[in-house]
Structure 1
Amino acid sequence: MTDLILAILHHLLVFALFSIFAVQMALVRPGLGASTVSRLARLDGAYGGIALAVIIVGFARAIFGLKGWDYYSTYWVFWAKVGAFLLVGLLSVPPTLRFRRWLGAARADAGYIVPDDEIGAVRTWLGREGLVLLLIPILAAMLARGIGY
């Protein structure tokens, strides 16, 4: 039962993570104003918290799940998935820093509009992050089937 509960929780958290990422992609566009910046910053905080929960629950699955740590700890696909997730985290840092800067500007000026060049720069980072995010379910499918073990 522990394995089932951890699997369900892990999947729900990953779906939530992908959902928040999709909303961020939709919100970061030219004309981004102060009220949306505030929403974007809150979403980004939730994204970070959910990402941390994904890591915790994912490792709990690897340790306490049916296959156990001995299986996962020696499996290169598991470590590739962990590495991809960490890379997503690193790629999310520049957008997060921009969101925080934009939030400060929006708090100082209710009429603040994010400059288009900054929108473009953040969308580039989000695009990179999204590409790596797409690797994670691919690696998860490989992991579930023991491909390359």
Structure 2
Amino acid sequence: MTLEALLASLHLLAVLTLVVFLSSQAALCRAEWLNAAVIERLVRLDQICRVVMLAVLVTGLVRVFWGIKGQSWYASQPLLHLKGTLWVAVWLLSVPSARAFRRWRGQWQQCSVLPPAAEIQKARWWVMVQAHLLPIVAVLAVFWARGW
């Protein structure tokens, strides 16, 4: 029972950490705030988000394989498969903004040029889509935990 609580806590901690860093990206990715320091911070936040996304995945898989219910129970749960699919979507949706942040850093380092406002808005849109899908994954977890 203690192991199950520890695994659940680690998984929840990873998810909440992702919310914090994803929210930070969304807050900073604005044309009126963008400068060299913000670009560097966005790149760093993206790197942190990727590590935390991996932590969410690993802690979730650890729960499946080491948790009390066992992997055969988890494999038969349709909400787990939906959560997994949405999780992959969140991960894939992070790619366009990550590429944009790195491109902006390269442009700034080469010729001190900030991206146009439309490009910043597009990158922010990708971050916001991720940020809005993540709570859906959490809601599915709540329904799943309640036996739905």
Provide the TM-score with structure 2 as the length reference.
0.93
Which moved further from structure 2: 123-132 or 66-75? 123-132
Q: Which residue of 2 aligns with 1:27?
A: 28
User: Whole-Å Cα distance in 2 between the matches of residues 113 and 8 of structure 1?
Assistant: 41
Matched residue type, 2:100? R
Q: Which residue of 1 aligns with 2:117?
A: 116
Q: 2:75 aligns with which of 73, 76, 92?
A: 73
Runs of 4 or more consecutive aligned structure 1 residues displaced over 3 Å after TM superposition: none
Give the gaps of 5 or more residues in structure 1.
Answer: none
Q: Which residue of 2 aligns with 1:127?
A: 128
Describe how 1:26-65 pairs up with structure 2 within 5 A: 26-31=27-32, 32-65=34-67
Q: Which residue of 1 aligns with 2:19?
A: 18
User: Whole-Å Cα distance in 1 between the matches of residues 128 and 52 of structure 2?
Assistant: 20
Matched residue type, 1:50? V
Q: Which residue of 2 aligns with 1:105?
A: 107
Kept after mapping to 2: 8 A contact 1:14/1:54 = yes
The offset of 1:95, in angstroms, is 0.3
SS of 2:113 mapped into structure 1? coil
Kept after mapping to 1: 8 A contact 2:19/2:131 = no
Kept after mapping to 1: 8 A contact 2:7/2:63 = yes
Identity over the aligned pairs, expressed in percent? 34
Kept after mapping to 2: 8 A contact 1:33/1:112 = no
Kept after mapping to 2: 8 A contact 1:34/1:112 = no
Matched residue type, 1:114? P
Q: Which residue of 2 aligns with 1:87?
A: 89
Provide the TM-score with structure 1 as the length reference.
0.92
Kept after mapping to 1: 8 A contact 2:97/2:123 = yes
Aligned residue pairs total 146
User: Whole-Å Cα distance in 2 between the matches of residues 141 and 19 of structure 1?
Assistant: 20
Structure 1, residues 115-141: CA drift from partner, whole Å, max 9, x if none?
A: 101111112212222221121111110
SS of 2:30 mapped into structure 1? coil
